[in-house]
Amino acid sequence: RQRQNAALDAKYTQELADAKAESEKLRADLASGRRRLQLHAVCMPAAAHDTTATGTTDAATARLTPDAERNYQRLRAESIAVTAQVNGLQQYITEQCTKRKADHGKN
């Protein structure tokens, strides 16, 4: 059983390391200009009475397209859900698995 746990740990640790490396490479590529981030946006005309930070009127405001906005909101919601799941699993392991192991050792 310990070997199975060690193999699972190694597998997921490697997957996490690979994902982090890929993320870091993308961040570095974006920072250096080797890659560019493309957002799908539309420019919405500002109301005639609005004034932008530069003091001009009738300036356009860039907004995500409806599809891009939905995708962003979906990713954000999924990120929040995954964080809650991980926190729940950590609490379960702490309260149940380690408790059972400690209780088992008492017998």
Q: Residue 106 pLDDT more than 90?
A: no
Going by pLDDT thresholds of 50, 70 and 90, the confidence category of residue 52 is: low
Contact 4, 10 (CB under 8 A): no
Q: Residue 84 pLDDT more than 90?
A: yes
Q: What is the mean pLDDT of the chain?
A: 85
58 Cβ contact partners less than 8 Å away, ≥ 6 residues apart? 45, 46, 48
What residue spans define the domains of the chain? 1-37
pTM equals: 0.57
- Rounded Cα distance between 97 and 83, Å, is 20
Contact 40, 65 (CB under 8 A): yes
The helix (run of H) or strand (run of E) holding residue 94 is: none
